[in-house]
Structure 1
Amino acid sequence: MQYLILFVTGLAAGLLSGMFGVGGGVIIVPALVFFFGMTQQTASATSLIALLLPVGLLGVYEYYRSGNISVEHVWFGLTVALGLFAGAFFGALIAIELSSDLLRRMFAVFLVLVAIRLWY
């Protein structure tokens, strides 16, 4: 079940990344903290694993070297990456069909919802 949640997290991050250009810090890290009880550092490191090839190789290495991630976290990150792969494709398809004004407003609402959730 936890791998399904991880995949859905990646899917959501991919969709939002494809639509708005966001994903790791806005979706993946909070999801890992809220749903899996990870520390902020471990969640950040696991998110970097998911984004490893495009942006995180050196960051993941440093977190691993300092003992903040384990092999299990590597598998978590790779599972999220599978969802990112599919989600980014579908998010881009959706975004292409929307007007720029609607997409901008949707992103603003999304950011407000995330801010409210983080505040409380």
Structure 2
Amino acid sequence: MTVTQLLLLAIIGLMAGVFSGTFGVGGAIIVIPSLVFFLGLSQHQAQGTSLAFMIPPVTLMAALNYSKNGYVNWKFAIVLAIMFVVGTYFGSILSVSIPEKILKKMFGGLLLLVALKIIFSK
């Protein structure tokens, strides 16, 4: 790992954390495109790397801050967490079987759909 790569990773990680804590979005929205565009990882590598650092302690501090202010429905969060674990297992099996070019388009399409929904919702 070069110094430049280390600095880029530090900036990407910091920005993903700020966005995640501020907007409640998964860091993958920032991390995956950044790893692909700025560090040259393949789509598969970027997604795998993103998942590798998204362990529970990463978001714990933000969740505690939201919880202290009454903004966490813990019953919902527990069910979501359990099913998220199951879903990521099966999703990763599917993802590694999809060709790189198609996977990248699928990811971009998902980001576009989410953005349009947010922009045009009332």
TM-score of the superposed pair, with normalisation by structure 1: 0.50
CA displacement 1:81-108 (0-9 Å, x = unmatched): 0110111011100111111111001111
The equivalences for 1:72-111 within 5 A come to 73-111=73-111
The equivalent of 1:68 in structure 2 is 71
Deviation larger for 54-63 or 94-103: 54-63
Question: For 2:27 and 2:90, how far apart are their aligned partners in 1?
Answer: 17
Count of aligned pairs = 72
Question: For 1:60 and 1:23, how far apart are their aligned partners in 2?
Answer: 12
CA displacement 1:4-57 (0-9 Å, x = unmatched): xxxxxxxxxxxxxxxxxx95787xxxxxxxxxxxxxxxxxxxxxxxx8824222
- Aligned-residue Cα RMSD (Å) equals 2.6
The equivalences for 1:25-64 within 5 A come to 53-64=56-67
Pick the structure with greater CA Rg.
Answer: 2
The amino acid across from 1:57 in the alignment is: L
Question: For 2:65 and 2:80, how far apart are their aligned partners in 1?
Answer: 20
The amino acid across from 2:66 in the alignment is: Y
Percent identical: 28
Given the superposition, is the C-alpha separation of residues 25 and 107 from structure 1 closer, same or farther in structure 2, using an over 3 Å criterion?
closer
Question: For 2:27 and 2:80, how far apart are their aligned partners in 1?
Answer: 10
Q: Is the 8 A contact 1:95 1:103 kept in 2?
A: yes
